[in-house]
Amino acid sequence: MGAPLLAQVLGAGPTGALAALALAEVGWQVHLEDPLSAVQLLRRQRAYALSHSSRLLLQRLGLWQELTPDLAPFRSLQLCDLEVGGRVPFSSADLGPAARHSPAANSVGWVLQHRPLMELLLERLESNPCVRLALGGTVSSEGSEQTADLVVAADGSDSPNRSSLGIGSWRLPYRQACLSVQVRLRGSAPDQAWELFRAQGPFAVLPLGGDHFQLVWSAPAQRLRALESLDPVAFLDQLAGVLPDGLQVEALLDTPRAFPVALGMAHRCHRGNTVLLGETLHRCHPVGGQGLNLCWRDVRALQKQAERAARGRLAVAAIGRSYAWNRWGDVLLTLLATDLLVRLFSNRQPLLLGLRRLILGLLGGGAPLRRLSLKAMTLGPCQLTAPWSE
């Protein structure tokens, strides 16, 4: 056997860190670099909605069991259109018998805080003999193509590495922004999530365990900037006015933070021996919690091609092309689906209100259609025939 193949991963956020572990797991040597220190990487305040595609990847990498104490499962997802008064409940029953009988797979999804995720990823990276970490320094990809067999750019939506490669991207900003805040909430079961459709934009309520919930509030950017500046009592008054009857916020648990959202896609997935991963490749609206899960499906696709190369079944020079071929369908369909949801449900246009009633009626009355929709949301739109568990 020859020397192990070498990958250089640029960016040590959740996607880059997971990619480094995934490549090491199939026999590659990995250099992982990020200009942020470990302390800075841990500092981010947010929570992620994990789908079954992410669960399967974490299980393959031996991470799922250790994360289980920090996961908040939701076995029910209430899809509510507050403009037409329609509601569709998705539950673990819609997963089918194969998933319901698997203890690891019997939830619609899970919510995980950023810090425990990054703590485990960094711990595994530091202890893995195939991974060399370079955090907190100045990261440069100059000369990396001469030393690394594969370069993975996972440095975010404003990636300087993508720019240095001359890969352009298209970006369509939404008029909406999103505001994220954690609260103590009454009126919802601890294992229930909500996706609320309002004229100003979607509103997600994600369980964090007990009576703690993460709210992701979409609305015009100017309104959210004004909400950020309110004192806690005034903010809670505004929040009470947008939640449906029965949900009552008792207290804020952190500081509300607004962030811009956009639809975006790089013009290509790779150039030379460099591949684009996660938000370096694509961006979507957070409706339905698709963002991180789409990024981690990139990781799984790259791992498959890297494993083929490590076994001599794929030329190293062909990894980028094979990876791109495997990702275009999932990425484009997911971006299209999230964009369509936002545009269809963020208005009060009479013709669209009728269409929305029809869609909700079909979903509510048809278990096979709910199961198909849930599979597309949680495994990816190109995996409708895939099993829930492996």
Distance CA 301, CA 323 (A): 6
- Cβ contact 32:272 at 8 Å: no
Length of the chain counted residue by residue: 390
Distance CA 106, CA 101 (A): 7
Task: Report the chain's C-alpha Rg in angstroms.
Answer: 21
pLDDT, tens digit, 9 for 90 and up, residues 25-50: 999 999 999 999 999 999 988 899 99
Does CATH number 3.40.1280.10 belong to domain 6-70+114-170+262-347? no
- Mean pLDDT computed over 120-129: 97
Distance CA 364, CA 366 (A): 6
| pLDDT higher than threshold 90 for residue 3 | no
Q: At 118, is the pLDDT very low, low, confident or very high (cuts 50, 70, 90)?
A: very high
- Mean pLDDT computed over 42-59: 94
- Mean pLDDT computed over 292-299: 98
pLDDT, tens digit, 9 for 90 and up, residues 141-185: 444 444 899 999 999 999 999 999 999 999 999 989 999 999 999
| pLDDT higher than threshold 80 for residue 271 | yes
Rounded to 5 degrees, φ, ψ at 237 are -65, -45
Distance CA 161, CA 138 (A): 13
- Cβ contact 48:42 at 8 Å: no
Complete DSSP assignment for 211-243: TEEEEEEEEEHHHHHHHHTS-HHHHHHHHHTTS
Burial environment of residue 347 by CB neighbours within 10 A (0 to 12, 13 to 18, 19 or more): middle
Distance CA 229, CA 160 (A): 32
- Cβ contact 300:326 at 8 Å: no
Helix 350-365 crosses helix 367-379 at what angle (to 10 degrees)?
Answer: 100
Nearest to 106 by CA among 385, 382, 378: 378
Extract the tokens encoding 384. Answer: 């409708």
- Cβ contact 67:107 at 8 Å: no
Distance CA 193, CA 213 (A): 9
Complete DSSP assignment for 132-143: EEEESS----TT
Rounded to 5 degrees, φ, ψ at 175 are -70, -25
Torsion sign across C-alpha atoms 347, 349, 351, 353: positive
This prediction's pTM = 0.93
Domain boundaries, the chain: 6-70+114-170+262-347
Ranges 57-66, 240-249, 325-334: which has the least confidence: 240-249
User: Within 137-207, where are the H helices?
Assistant: 144-147, 160-164
Distance CA 88, CA 95 (A): 15
pLDDT of 191 reads 94
| pLDDT higher than threshold 80 for residue 99 | no
- Cβ contact 44:145 at 8 Å: no
Extract the tokens encoding 386. Answer: 């895939």
Helix (H) or strand (E) holding 356: helix 350-365
Extract the tokens encoding 99. Answer: 């998933």
